Amino acid sequence: MATIPTPLTGQYASIAFGEGAVWVTSGQADGVVYRVDPAANRVTAAIGVPGGAFGIVVAAGTVWVTQYLPEADPGIVARIDARSNRLRSPVEVPNMPGMIRYGLDAVWVTSRFTVSRIDPHSGVVTQPLHRVGDIRAVGAGSLWGTFADSEGDFGVQRIDPGIGRVVATIRIRCCAVMAFGLGTLWLAGLEEPTVTPGGNEPARPKPPRLYRIDPATNRVLRRPVPLPGGAPTALAIGDGAVWVAEQDGKTLTRFNLIP
């Protein structure tokens, strides 16, 4: 395990792995994207992104970053050339983009009222999904998100990208932070508290944990792993490791996976 200082990261920081590097956003209006060398465990570049840097993915040699601007429309996705660390022309999407994910040869952006699909090679926005709440991970031929309209609906949702509909719900009271890698879905976060029997107050929340879901069975694998810091804010898989950013806004934790 290693801890890498990223001093300007805030509550809404995100992580991505690609092009031989780990990329971390500042998660605030003072937009910065950190490039981390996973071999040396150190920051090699801090790239300024005017307008904020929140969600992040790497696709087709480009780093894609969502910007949460005060104006409702249009939403902006910034692009960074992964070779030169320089900004490219941005892509416009519908109102207030937040989460951004890559998979199935597409970049998926969750906005306020819809999910947009972006062609990573051309930057063209296509195939909006209007019946999906959010996309937090992509893998095993599916899109993965969360939804909680009621106590019974709480859990992780598996979505068919072709028809844009939920095909399975995994009942787990955690987590908002997830990523797909090494053949499984990874989730990190605090387990949602439940009301204690006979009382009106929620039970004391448990420490943050790291979970795995098997896409073949849609079930949790093994026991969750306790996390050393505060509430997780971002999660990425790469270089044989799981990378977790925590709410203290200053650290990035690396879990090496045992074959």
- What DSSP string describes 41-92? TEEEEEEE-TT-B--EEEETTEEEEEE--SSSSSEEEEEEETTT--EEEEEE
Instruction: Name the one residue in this structure whose structure tokens are 């009942």.
Output: 171
Q: What is the dihedral of CA 113, 121, 245, 7, to 10 degrees?
A: -110
Decide the pairing of beta strands 225-226 and 75-81: unpaired
Give the list of residues 6+ apart from residue 189 with CB closer than 8 angstroms, or none.
174, 175, 176, 177, 208, 209, 231, 232
Q: How far is CA 180 from the centre of its chain?
A: 10
Closest residue by Cα to residue 76 from 86, 87, 85, 84: 87
Residue 71's pLDDT is what? Answer: 67
What is the model's pTM? 0.79
Residue 202's pLDDT is what? Answer: 53
Closest residue by Cα to residue 2 from 33, 40, 34: 40
Residue 131's pLDDT is what? Answer: 74
Distance CA 152, CA 154 (A): 6
Per-residue model confidence as pLDDT tens for the chain (259 residues): 677 777 666 667 888 889 999 999 988 777 899 999 999 999 999 999 988 899 999 999 999 999 866 666 788 999 999 999 999 999 999 878 888 999 999 999 998 878 999 999 999 998 788 777 789 999 999 999 986 555 555 688 899 998 888 899 888 877 778 989 989 999 998 765 554 445 555 556 677 888 999 999 999 998 888 887 678 877 888 888 888 877 665 667 788 876 5
Residue 256's pLDDT is what? Answer: 84
Residue 16's pLDDT is what? Answer: 87
- Copy the structure tokens of residue 46: 């801090």
